[in-house]
Structure 1
Amino acid sequence: MTSGLKGARTGRGWSQDRLVYEIRRFAEQRLLDVASAASLKTYVSEWENGRRSITARYASILRPLLGVTDQELRGVADVEELQADGYADLLSRIDAAGTLSESLVPSFLAQTELLRTMDRQMGAAGLVDQMAGHLASMEEALTFAVLPGARKPIAAALAGASTLAAWQALDAGAVDRAWRRYEVAKKAAQDADSPLYMAHAMGEQAYVLAEAGRPRLAVELVREAQRTHPGRQSLRLRAWLAATEAELCAAAGEEAEARAALDRATSLLPDDGELRDADMLSIFLNADHLARWRGNVLLTLGDTSAMEELYTSLNGADTSFVRANSGLYCDLAQAHLARGELEEARSHLQQARLLANRTGSVRYRRRVELLTGRL
């Protein structure tokens, strides 16, 4: 229990007093009854040192507040429930799963799209319970689907949702959960016989390696993703993977390779005026998005032209991409810091902080704090 709640709290850079404040604010906004600030301070201390169990009522507040699952909150491993219902129960589940591809799969896809939209605009922290339940339903369906015709559409839906859940976990600082979600996504992509979902999951998983301090291994993974049946990948996905390689190469100090990958992304991106990939709805990429990516890569490489690319991206930024815009403002702050323009850096950093707090992004909060320390 200590590692669960305390780890989630410190991962956000919150003191126990700050957690108490956030609990009370969360409760007030939703008209929930909670203990006084003084009592809550005692509760938090006792929850973290194992002298008091977290009740279901407070767990339902802490999970969305901290962006963690119930197991992560309590610091316990997942326990697989034993089923002893016999053959009748097994056959009932198999029969039900056989009809899912025609009935529930469209509902699964619609729910994933709703969660994706909410995540993009509001952040992932408050979606932990919904996403966990959503994935559990699809994993259950896939477990009992027998024939390929029934399994493939369920597996494709699970691959897309698991990749989204993994990115949400990474943004919340839950690295182990992120890695496991990507592994689920890759296995589901195999079941779905979908190189698109496989390559996308591998490309995003590379970011986990990069942030864990293995940038060159991350580069190798995203390159392997690009070799995963490239003839069956859409152009927009291939452009996305190339841009990902450019960012990871820059982080690994491979300047020539980063620039080459950027050029490849530019040449691959379809000039069709579209934002999303029709075959891969998880991919959002147009010229404005790629300009932001190019600015980030050039900034990492120390190229002075990064500033122009970043402001071009800012001028065309879609305000609904709240978390991505937090990263853009971080890039602008860093670019101005490199030029000694402290007032401009502070201004952009303030915007980055506001958006990171709005979405509950642990990744961008950490970056904001690092940049703040340089002012």
Structure 2
Amino acid sequence: MKTKLQAARAARGWSQADLMDALEDAAVRLGIQLPSRSSLKAQVSMFENGRRPPGSDYQTLFCEAYQATRVELGLSLDAAPSQLDTLPSLPAPRAASMQASPEVIGYLKAVFMEHVQAEPVVGPRFLVPAVQSQMPLIEQVCKGARGPLRDEAVRVGARYSELLGWLHQDSGDSQSAMLWTNRALDYASELEDPALSAYVFQRRSNIAAEAGQAGYAVGLANAALRQARGLPQDVRAVALRARAYADALLGQSDESTRALDEARVLADQGPVGEGLAPYCSVAYIDMEAAACALHLGQPEQAVATLEASLTEWPAEQQRDRGLCLARLATAYAQLEDVEGAYNAASQAAAIAEATGSARILGELLRLQPFLAPWRKLVEIAELNRLLGSMKGS
């Protein structure tokens, strides 16, 4: 027999993931801090199956998510104070009363840096909800900011929006990725900051290229490079990388090679860890050069570049290492090196599972046709089963 909580979800046609999205949105509105997504899933299952009664905080969230009363949801009116254990609930602030201040902006900057440091390791699965939850506060701060604080608030809005766009892109949601990246460009336009605008334009180029819109991607990369000589080295390097990738998709080998050569020189000169693109190392440019080589039908060049790049790959850039391995697997497969392809793909698949990176999974799925002649081998069949389960999850 269904509990009333199960019936409420079924009546709305929601999956458990839909319910968790609604609970997380409600938590943002009400100022209640939730546990991790995996912990929340376990809690929801227990509540719906009647194995544990929801505490007062969860009752509040269920009522908000379903827009229903406690009685309608079959919830106890004398619930314990909280089932969120060590996670304290916070009083919901009045959105209209939130004012910009150095303290609030300092807090947002500090949290942003934590997100940036965590992102290459944990990937988008756990960070999208965390970054998304900051956006209502940022919007209110920008709305009320005046005087010298406005530029700081708007810059924070641009950086968070761009990061959220990237996280959606890595999750495989190009529509949301472009939406938030366009929002970042709106913020950057107010600041009249050429470097920030150029950086966001090249991010838009990346999204368009991965969505198969190569001609549009070239135009966006050119927009990023409109004032190339006045740009910081890291921004100019990633913008050149964006144009090189779009050129490769269009089969323009010479133009792609020239852009990559210039990007590599700039990456070698600029210190990693500063600026808008601290990830832009020579190893990063080499990985992207290999991706271009694959699109241009040059697997030998891709293998040489990726093998050398992996020896220098920073440990903290785990997600990009997975993408590098996935591309290496494709290059090996094109050269009929089945063992090399399997070994690289297995490592990449483990990183894709851990981080939730749709970009790594997408690269691995593109690998499968190249391994089709060997699909009956035990190792390849096992790899295909794993990729199939990851695609369906």
Provide TM-score, normalisation by structure 1: 0.73
Alpha-carbon offset, residue 268 of structure 1: 2.6
Q: CA deviation at 1:352?
A: 0.9
2:367 matched residue in structure 1: 371
Question: 2:365, 2:179 → 1: CA distance?
Answer: 28
Residue of structure 2 in register with 1:300 after alignment: 295
Partner of 1:50: none
2:83 matched to which residue of 1? none
Aligned counterparts of 1:204 and 1:6: Cα–Cα separation in 2 = 33
CA distance change for structure 1 residues 4 and 178 in 2, over 3 Å: closer, same or farther?
farther
Task: Flag structure 1 segments of 5+ consecutive residues without an equivalent.
Answer: 9-24, 41-54, 60-84
1:138 aligns with 2:138: yes
- Structure 2 unaligned runs (5+)? 1-8, 19-35, 51-60, 66-93, 372-393
Asked if the contact 1:27/1:34 (under 8 Å) is kept, the reply is no
CA separation of 1:252/1:321 partners in 2, compared to 1, >3 Å: closer, same or farther? same
Kept in 2: contact 1:156–1:194 (CA 8 A): no
1:105-136 Cα deviation digits (max 9, x unpaired): 22211111111122210111112222112122
Q: Residue in 1 aligned with 2:330?
A: 334
Residues 121 and 302 of structure 1: is their aligned pair in 2 closer, same or farther, counting only changes over 3 Å?
same
Deviation (angstroms), 1:245: 1.2
Cα contact 2:327–2:363 (8 A) shared by 1: no
Instruction: Give the distance between the partners of 1:28 and 1:267, measured in 2 at CA.
Output: 46
User: Residues 30-56 of structure 1, C-alpha deviation per residue, up to 9 Å, x if partnerless?
Assistant: 86362599x79xxxxxxxxxxxxxx84
Relative to structure 1, the CA distance from residue 140 to residue 4 in structure 2 (aligned partners, 3 Å threshold; closer, same or farther) is farther
Say yes or no: does 1:107 pair with 2:107: yes
Using the alignment, how far apart are the partners of 2:326 and 2:13 within structure 1?
30
Could you tell me the percent identity over the aligned residues? 21
* Other structure's SS at 1:284 match: coil
What pairs up with 1:97-246 in 2 under 5 angstroms? 97=100, 100=101, 102-147=102-147, 149-227=148-226, 229-246=227-244
Match of 2:272 in 1: 275
> 1:347, 1:123 → 2: CA distance?
22
Partner of 2:255: 257
CA distance in structure 1 between the partners assigned to 2:311 and 2:211 by the alignment: 32
Hey, what's the Cα distance between the residues in 1 that align with 2:114 and 2:37?
A: 23
Residue 258 of structure 1: CA displacement?
Answer: 0.5
Say which one has the larger Rg. Answer: 2
Q: How does 1:63-74 map to 2 (within 5 A)?
A: none
* Relative contact order higher in (CA < 8 Å, ≥ 6 apart): 1
- How far did residue 308 of structure 1 move? 1.2
Instruction: State how 1:286-365 maps to structure 2 within 5 Å.
Output: 286-303=281-298, 304-365=300-361
Q: After superposition, give the CA deviation of every residue in 1:164-214 in whole Å (9 maximum; x if it has no partner).
A: 110101111222221111111001111222222211111111122223221
SS in 1 for 2:45: coil
- Aligned mates of 2:142, 2:353 — CA distance in 1: 36
| Alignment root-mean-square deviation, CA | 3.1
Deviations 1:74-94 (A, max 9, x none): xxxxxxxxxxx9xxx96x55x
Query: Structure 1 pair 253/191, CA: closer, same or farther in 2 (3 Å)?
Result: same
User: In structure 1, the residue corresponding to 2:310 is in which secondary structure?
Assistant: helix
CA distance in structure 2 between the partners assigned to 1:179 and 1:364 by the alignment: 19
Counterpart CA distance in 1 for 2:208 and 2:193 is 23
Aligned amino acid, residue 244 of structure 2: A
In 2, distance between residues paired with 1:224 and 1:256?
Answer: 20
